[in-house]
Chain A
Amino acid sequence: DSGVTQTPKHLITATGQRVTLRCSPRSGDLSVYWYQQSLDQGLQFLIQYYNGEERAKGNILERFSAQQFPDLHSELNLSSLELGDSALYFCASSGREGSYEQYFGPGTRLTVT
């Protein structure tokens, strides 16, 4: 158990809908990272937050957004969902800025039908 929690574990929704994925980092970790993993793309970095502020952005679509709240939990919002958005979405956290090890949550499996 990494100490990172994600909810829900599974999510099934229809095209065009909007969903919110939630992540709670390890106690004391200030950074939260979001990744998407689909079968044909591998693990893709989406976005990083550090202590409430956006720190780095990867290949995140404009239909997707994220935020980190004062209690350090984070939410990833996915809107206008398409079939190709079906994937595992992982959240990871790490300690102080520069800390090298990222701890991954169990992931949310999103299925868009």
Chain B
Amino acid sequence: GQNIDQPTEMTATEGAIVQINCTYQTSGFNGLFWYQQHAGEAPTFLSYNVLDGLEEKGRFSSFLSRSKGYSYLLLKELQMKDSASYLCAVRDANAGNMLTFGGGTRLMVKP
């Protein structure tokens, strides 16, 4: 089975930087994904990490350490529209490559 943990809620200020952490335990790790989901809407893909290190994509970056079972999503220059839930998901090669999602971190950006 898999266990994915991420904080339930976070608050940050517009223009600031926020880091959302995710820890996981899985038997057949085959990639970690971050999705953004606004309330009542579909999740949208943000990033994918399968090797250790940092992947940067505009204001968003994602980091992975496979040995520590740890990832984070870094959001820079926060905007009000970044208020959303951020879902960490792990793909397990021993489970047909299905994705298991964490409970999500609800980020509130304040002016």
Contacts of A58 in B (CB 8 A): 98
Q: Which of B31, B42, B96 contacts A56 (CB 8 A)?
A: B96
A42 within 8 A of B: yes
Interface size class of A (residues with CB under 8 A): 20 to 34
B101 contacts A43, CB within 8 Å? yes
User: Which A residues contact B (CB, under 8 angstroms)?
Assistant: 2, 33, 42-45, 48, 55-56, 58, 88, 90, 98, 100-107, 109
B41 smallest CB distance to A (angstroms): 7
B residues within 8 A CB of A55? 96
Residues of A within 8 A of B42 (CB): 2, 90, 104-107
B-side interface size class: 20 to 34
Measuring CB to CB, which residues of chain B are less than 8 angstroms from any residue of chain A?
31, 33, 35, 40-45, 48, 50, 87, 89, 91, 95-104
Shortest Cβ distance from B47 into A: residue: A101
Please report the C-alpha to C-alpha distance between residue A105 and residue B42 in the assembled complex, in whole angstroms.
6
Question: Chain A residues near B97 (CB, 8 Å)?
Answer: 56, 98
**A2 cross-chain contacts in B, Cβ below 8 A:** 42, 44
Task: Give the shortest distance, in Å, between B64 (CB) and chain A (any CB).
Answer: 13
Contact A42 B43 (CB under 8 A): no
The one of B44, B45, B50, B98 in contact with A48, judged by C-beta atoms closer than 8 angstroms, is: B98
State which of B48, B87, B103 has its C-beta within 8 Å of the C-beta of A100. Answer: B48
Complex alpha-carbon distance, A32 and B100, angstroms: 15
